[in-house]
Structure 1
Amino acid sequence: MAPLNAHLPPLLILLMISSGPRMIQSTRIFTIVNYCQETVWPGITQGDNFNGGGFELKSGQSIVFTAPVGWNGRIWGRTGCKFDQNGSGSCKTGACGTSLKCKASGEPPASLAEFTLAALDFYDVSLVDGFNLPITVTPINGKGNCSSVGCDEDLRNTCPSELAVKSNGKVIACRSACDVFSTDEYCCRGVYGNPVVCQPTYYSKTFKQACPTAYSYAYDDPTSIFTCAGTDYTVAFCSSRKQTVCTYHDNKLACSASKGLKLSITGWWALVFAMPLLLTF
């Protein structure tokens, strides 16, 4: 994970105007941010509201989408990707086939942000399918518990050797024990297919210790699933759960972003201009 700057991050002042009717409460705003020191190719299913389910996001960039209540899906990061001008290619981790636009979930190992949008939203970050990037979810302007959750530790640095995925000698992802050993105990299936019998293992405890608010195995619900009502979300790669975030909703702006953040807007509302104010102690 990219180290957090010890200085107060620059404040990105965004002035936006609406080119259509005001946002209604049945819509959620998603801001997806890349704080990693490498390019990330986010994948999303269902991706109709998210640029078709896939796009490139360079280090320090973010992009904003809207999704209706009733949407449910997953957001994850792909790494080491190469796509041609037709959107065909491959990724070293998180691939959803050979297309830039994802129509299916990412291949394990991949860190997942999962959402079910309703009158009361449910959201979580899951490492059940393994880990490839630090990822956090922060609700903004919501009502209820609305905790910031996820995995902000880079488990590639501490991945047990038997779970490690390497490229050119470097660990690029950490597989789940289920994916590696495929036993009923690790996969919570067969006689282990219920929360009473399927208990944390050495490997899931290792994940949980590093990322206490993320799913570490299939029945990790009590400490891993969260709720919030009427909220917007920031999904950030390589960010701390305490990282400042920004959103724009109902003609009200609340933004405090990190150094180098470049914001792109999609949908019916437009960015007029952005002026970074460099603030240091």
Structure 2
Amino acid sequence: MARFWPSIPLPWLLISAMFLAADATTFTLVNKCEYTVWPGVLANADEPPLSTTGFALQKGESRSLAAPAGWGGRFWARTRCAQDPAAGELSCLTGDCGSGQLECGGRGAAPPATLAEFKLYGDGGLDFFDVSLVDGFNLPMLVAPQGGKEGRGNCTSVGCTGDLNAACPSELRVAAGGGGSGVAACKSACDAFRRPQYCCSGAYGSPQACRPTPYSEAFKSACPQAYSYAYDDATSTFTCAGADYVITFCPSPNA
């Protein structure tokens, strides 16, 4: 039997839609690299996926994605991607999510990869965001809030805008391949050595026990705003409210 619901006046529907739209946050991803990147998007475990989880972004292109209030997740760029002519699968030298496709479909980035991490409308109604090198570095990245509410959070642009690959220690380097001497990415010490003191695991699994290492200190010196190791919260987490965000791959070093 059909069920009849009371009709809702059109003005109320329009007002509700306006409030829902106001709660949405727009992320705009911009590629200023001299090459194509393949952004990946991963929602936190308890959050809905956005309209896409991966796509290609040519040099100079941008793409905007809407996220609902309270959303949390991360963005990164896959680089040096190619499609296998036989299997048709996409694979990337850095940031690969292992899906074999443009869409990452709930899979995260294989390190090393520079990450932009967000939790929207968290404690106190603030957005929390950071740029992280905990999983290593593959390209420069900048997160710039747009139009945040005055007096709510610091709403500053944060990132790692220098090229860490150029100064990466030999033991952390990921070779660019092709027979050259180029560096495609710089591993974290955790990824390179798998030792608890570098991974903040086991007996080192607390802020008191896990301290900066010479490797994380080198990352921090090059990119003071970015997370350099797992407990680098004090100088690396930023807040804003009511903002949209522009995530730029390969921004100007002076940005």
- Identify the residue that residue 37 of structure 1 maps to in structure 2: 34
Deviation for aligned residue 1:242: 5.8
1:48 aligned partner, one-letter code: P
Q: Is the 8 A contact 1:136 1:241 kept in 2?
A: no
Equivalent position SS for 2:220: helix
Equivalent position SS for 2:170: coil
Q: Does 1:56 align with 2:56?
A: yes
Q: Does 1:105 align with 2:100?
A: no
Q: Distance in 1 between matches of 2:119 and 2:220?
A: 23
User: What is the aligned-residue identity percentage?
Assistant: 54
Q: Does 1:204 align with 2:216?
A: yes
Equivalent position SS for 1:179: helix
Equivalent position SS for 1:39: coil
- Identify the residue that residue 253 of structure 1 maps to in structure 2: none
Equivalent position SS for 2:76: strand
- Identify the residue that residue 8 of structure 2 maps to in structure 1: none
Q: Distance in 2 between matches of 1:165 and 1:242?
A: 26
1:90 aligned partner, one-letter code: S
- Identify the residue that residue 91 of structure 2 maps to in structure 1: 90
Residues 87, 148 of structure 1: alpha-carbon distance in 2 compared, 3 angstrom cutoff = farther
Larger of the two Rg values belongs to structure? 2
1:121 aligned partner, one-letter code: D
Q: What is the TM-score with the length of structure 1 in the denominator? A: 0.75
Residues 150, 29 of structure 1: alpha-carbon distance in 2 compared, 3 angstrom cutoff = same
Residues 25, 90 of structure 1: alpha-carbon distance in 2 compared, 3 angstrom cutoff = same
Q: How many residues align?
A: 222
Q: Distance in 1 between matches of 2:76 and 2:164?
A: 15
- Identify the residue that residue 146 of structure 1 maps to in structure 2: 155
Equivalent position SS for 2:94: coil
Instruction: Give the 4+ runs in structure 1 shifted more than 4 A.
Output: 84-87
Equivalent position SS for 2:169: coil
Q: Is the 8 A contact 1:150 1:241 kept in 2?
A: no
Q: Distance in 2 between matches of 1:163 and 1:142?
A: 38
Cα offsets for 1:8-32 (capped at 9, x unmatched): xxxxxxxxxxxxx657321001110
- Identify the residue that residue 175 of structure 1 maps to in structure 2: 187
Higher RCO, 1 vs 2 (CA within 8 Å, ≥6 residues apart): 1
- RMSD (Å), alpha carbons: 1.9
Uncovered stretches (5+) of structure 2, i.e. residues with no partner: 1-16
Q: Is the 8 A contact 1:88 1:100 kept in 2?
A: no
2:143 aligned partner, one-letter code: V
- Identify the residue that residue 191 of structure 1 maps to in structure 2: 203
The 5 A counterparts of 1:124-273 are 124-143=130-149, 144=152, 145-166=154-175, 167-168=177-178, 169-240=181-252, 243=255
Uncovered stretches (5+) of structure 1, i.e. residues with no partner: 1-20, 244-281
Deviation for aligned residue 1:50: 3.9
Q: Distance in 2 between matches of 1:147 and 1:198?
A: 28
